[in-house]
Structures are given as C-alpha cells and as structure tokens.
Amino acid sequence: MRVNCNCRYRVLAVILVCLSAIASADEDEGWSSGRHYIPAEEWKESAVTLPRWPEQDDLLEVSVDRADFPFRVYIDPESLSIGDEGVVRYALVIISSSGAWNATFEGMQCGEGEYRRYAYGSGRQWQQVSGSPWRRIMDGGMDGYRYTLYRDYMCDNAGSNPQVHEILRSIRYNRDSSLDD
C-alpha cells in the first residue's frame, strides 16, 4: 500500500502547528495583554507562631495502622491551623509504650507532599528550630506515620488541604471508631 506523500506532509504540518500553539501558550505565561512581563508571585510562607504546649487531656489520637510503627500518635486540636499560603500546621505528640513523649510543631504542604518542623518539645516548652528545610513525606520507616497523616487526614486526593473542622472530624471519627472495637 502506497501512502500519498502529500498526506504525510499534511499530518506533519498539523503536528507542527499544534506544537507551535503549545509553545506560544507557554511563552505567554507571565505576560499581560499589553505585553508587559508580570512575574509570577513567589510562594512565601506566612509567619509562624508557636502554639501553647499540648495538654494530654486535649490530645486526639490519630489512627496509624502500621506494623512498622509501634508508637501512638496524637494531634493537639488547639494547634491545628491552615495558613493563608495553605500550610497545615499542627502540634504532634508521639507516645511510646513506656509513656515517653516526643512533641513537635510541624507544617505540611499538601500540594508539594512535604513537611517542615518548626519546634520540638523539651521540658513542656517549645524549642524553636531555625532554618528547618521542607522535606519529602515518605511512605515507610519511622516517619511513615507522617504519610498516614498526609494521605488520610491533612490533605485530600487532589493534594490540597481540607478545612480544619474536616481534618478534626476525620481524626475524631477514626479515633472513636477504634475505641468501639
């Protein structure tokens, strides 16, 4: 079967036109209709204020069903907030079987799948961590609980975050349902 040469050129021309349209659309990003360049606003994190120290009676247990994580995980509902830039912030308490506490104040970027530690607890006080980098949330190991927080509570499937009351309802529902067993 012989294919008409003109047909191949037409298909090639259509592909080139489509690619050209895509490229010009990308070039127009950041340009106003008057052809003045307007740079995209750079993401900037809001100022962070450390919350009060978490009280044991206020903590909500987070259901972390992981065989590789033998600790209990809690969120202080009073500390849970979502900044104007979309960062979910929360005080996290991890308690060992012997009762030892490990408290941190963290932030989570749902769209990026990252977390950052702002402070750790010592002597019922926060010790601020300066310059803590954003780190990728990994599914596994001793930090796997954070992936559970990300996937099941703090963020939705689209990588954005629900409202504070929705996060708290989800945590309470899972905690309450596990107590009924």
In the structure encoding, which two tokens stand for residue 161, read together? 């975050």
Strands, E assignment, 65-147: 72-82, 88-95, 101-109, 114-122, 125-128, 135-136
Q: What mean pLDDT is predicted for residues 111-128?
A: 94
Tell which residue, 153, 160, 151, has the closest CA to residue 174: 153
Instruction: Give percent of the chain above pLDDT 70.
Output: 72
Q: SS3 of 72, please?
A: strand
Burial of 109 (0-12, 13-18, 19+ CB in 10 A): buried
* pTM, full prediction: 0.71
Residue 60's contacts (CB-CB under 8 Å, 6 or more residues apart) are: 74, 75, 76, 77, 168, 171, 172, 175
Out of 11-15, 24-28, 43-47, 49-53, give the one with best mean pLDDT.
Answer: 49-53
Q: Give the pLDDT confidence of 30-80 residue by residue, as tens digits.
A: 545 556 667 667 778 888 999 999 999 999 999 888 777 889 999 999 999
Of 18 and 124, which is predicted with more confidence? Answer: 124
